[in-house]
């Protein structure tokens, strides 16, 4: 973590890799932690001292009282959900008001954006994306079509702007014959959330961050979602609507590419995906169920079953390429304890043709696996890499050789303490 640099910590597969945990562990080494994309579709779990928090919009650096946390311009924010999340932290004894800054340029998720999210999903029928229902797609669409509302809008003439946009949404919903909704109660909470947000510094966060960088401070950019859910590089159209990749750090925080330092790519020792879309390594058998069970693979936001499978090196290598990943972080290694055989997908195959490059569409491709012997040992109480069983060392070495990228951290449990540097 060089001074005056922005390091990025990015989920490099389908999300839920454990970004929240590692950002929390890394925070003491940084001056600022900033979210650059996404909104309350994210669910970042942090566990320490017997306490558990799931953050959605607030950066995972918030538990270190001395650090500035920023919700950057590339994010979208729902005032009602933000208020609930922040109040939960305040109740737990964390003082947020001065050290959580929100970009005036971040876009607002209106209650009617969430209704639109549901309406668009319903209209897609069996082709639905399986969104989190948080209004993410409609809000980013509106940002791109230049009709959205931003956090800075709450500072002037807000009611008028809000009513105009809401009326526009109601018109769209009526055109879609989607009338089965009632947002009265939700809207009241949402307006309370807007008032609550006014108590936080609503700032030009890009200027703040760049000033800090010039003073030699360092920034950790916390990713949300994962590379395979990126609007450009993911499995479109089964993606989220933001730039979750390294380029998104620059646009979502207003920092220049030459300020980027380390790029940490975080992945699990196996694969998961929530929602619809192609997933070549998905297991439909008992092994998939076993991984889900042991790994508690149920969505942090929606509670849905996460689809499970073996590690996908095609996806990993693609993500390393588009993000410029300089270090890998392997999470949830302990979940594979006791498996006789562990598999990793090293190529995709279709119609007798094999590829190790990410195809335009991964639908219909099947995985080509390489098998590794599993380990007997329980990893959860290990404290250093030299205690790793030989089988785990071999698995990690294979990943490093295939990806030409070092695995510098291995996580062996959900707690802050269960994090091993190599």
Residues that bind ligand GDP (CB under 6 A): 11, 15-21, 42-45, 47, 296, 300, 331-332, 334-335, 411-414, 418
Residue 131, binding choice from ligand IMO, ligand GDP, Mg ion, none, Cβ under 5 to 8 Å by partner class: ligand IMO
Would you count residue 41 as binding ligand IMO (CB under 6 A)?
A: yes
Catalytic-labelled residue, pool 16, 24, 117, 334: 16
For Mg ion, give the closer residue by CB, 42 or 231.
42
| Catalytic-residue membership of 16 | yes
- State the nearest-atom distance from the C-beta of 26 to ligand GDP, in Å: 13
Residue 40, binding choice from ligand GDP, ligand IMO, Mg ion, none, Cβ under 5 to 8 Å by partner class: none
In sequence order, what are the beta bridge partners of 8? 221, 263
Q: How far apart are CA 110 and CA 194, in angstroms?
A: 11
For ligand GDP, give the closer residue by CB, 11 or 234.
11
Would you count residue 16 as binding Mg ion (CB under 5 A)?
A: yes
- State the nearest-atom distance from the C-beta of 398 to ligand GDP, in Å: 19
- State the nearest-atom distance from the C-beta of 375 to ligand GDP, in Å: 15
Q: How far apart are CA 269 and CA 372, in angstroms?
A: 13
Q: Of 401, 238, 411, 422, which Cα lies nearest the Cα of 316?
A: 401
Q: How far apart are CA 224 and CA 318, in angstroms?
A: 18
Would you count residue 333 as binding ligand IMO (CB under 6 A)?
A: no
Structure tokens given for 221: 């950019």
- State the nearest-atom distance from the C-beta of 159 to ligand IMO, in Å: 28
Q: Is the dihedral of CA 63, 67, 73, 74 positive or negative?
A: negative
Residue 206 in contact with residue 73, Cβ under 8 Å? yes
Q: Is the dihedral of CA 212, 214, 216, 222 positive or negative?
A: positive
Q: How far apart are CA 78 and CA 210, in angstroms?
A: 26
| Catalytic-residue membership of 44 | yes
Within 234-273, the residues that bind ligand IMO by CB under 6 A are 240-241
**Judged by CB under 6 A, how many residues of this single chain contact ligand IMO?**
25
Interacting residues of 353 by C-beta distance below 8 A, sequence separation 6+: none
Residues annotated as catalytic (active site), given as ranges: 16, 44
């Amino acid at each position: 973590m060089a001074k005056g640099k922005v390091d990025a910590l990015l989920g490099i597969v389908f999300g839920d890799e454990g970004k929240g945990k590692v950002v929390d562990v890394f925070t003491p080494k940084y001056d600022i932690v900033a979210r650059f994309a996404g909104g309350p579709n994210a669910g970042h779990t942090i566990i320490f001292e017997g306490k558990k928090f799931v953050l959605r919009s607030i950066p995972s650096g918030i538990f270190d009282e001395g650090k500035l946390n920023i919700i950057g311009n590339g994010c979208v924010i729902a005032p009602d959900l933000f208020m609930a999340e922040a109040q939960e932290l305040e109740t737990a004894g964390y003082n947020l008001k001065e050290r959580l800054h929100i970009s005036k340029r971040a876009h607002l998720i209106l209650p009617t954006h969430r209704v639109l999210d549901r309406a668009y999903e319903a209209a897609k029928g069996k082709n639905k994306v399986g969104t989190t229902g948080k209004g993410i797609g409609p809000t980013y669409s509106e940002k791109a079509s230049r009709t959205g509302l931003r956090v800075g809008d709450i500072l002037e003439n807000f009611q008028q702007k809000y009513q105009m946009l809401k009326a526009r949404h109601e018109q769209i919903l009526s055109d879609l014959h989607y009338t089965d909704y009632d947002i009265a109660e939700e809207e009241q909470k949402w307006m309370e959330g807007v008032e609550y947000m006014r108590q936080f510094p609503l700032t030009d966060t890009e200027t703040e961050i760049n000033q800090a960088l010039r003073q030699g401070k360092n920034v950790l950019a916390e990713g949300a979602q994962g590379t395979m859910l990126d609007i450009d590089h993911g499995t479109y159209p089964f993606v989220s609507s933001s730039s979750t990749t390294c380029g998104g750090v620059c646009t979502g925080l207003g920092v220049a590419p030459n300020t980027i330092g380390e790029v940490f790519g975080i992945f699990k020792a196996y694969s998961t995906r929530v929602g619809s879309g192609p997933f070549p390594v998905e297991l439909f058998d008992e092994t998939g169920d076993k991984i889900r069970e042991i790994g508690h693979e149920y969505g942090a936001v929606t509670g849905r079953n996460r689809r499970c499978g073996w590690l996908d090196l095609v996806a990993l290598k693609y993500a390393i390429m588009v993000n410029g990943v300089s270090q890998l972080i392997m999470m949830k290694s302990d979940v594979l304890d006791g498996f006789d055989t562990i598999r990793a997908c090293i190529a995709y195959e279709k119609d007798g043709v094999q590829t190790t490059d990410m195809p335009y569409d991964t639908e219909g491709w099947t995985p080509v696996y390489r098998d590794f012997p599993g380990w007997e040992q329980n990893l959860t109480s290990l404290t250093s890499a030299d205690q790793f069983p030989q089988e785990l060392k071999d698995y990690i070495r294979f990943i490093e050789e295939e990806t030409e990228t070092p695995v510098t951290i291995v996580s062996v449990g959900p707690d802050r303490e269960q994090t091993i540097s190599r």
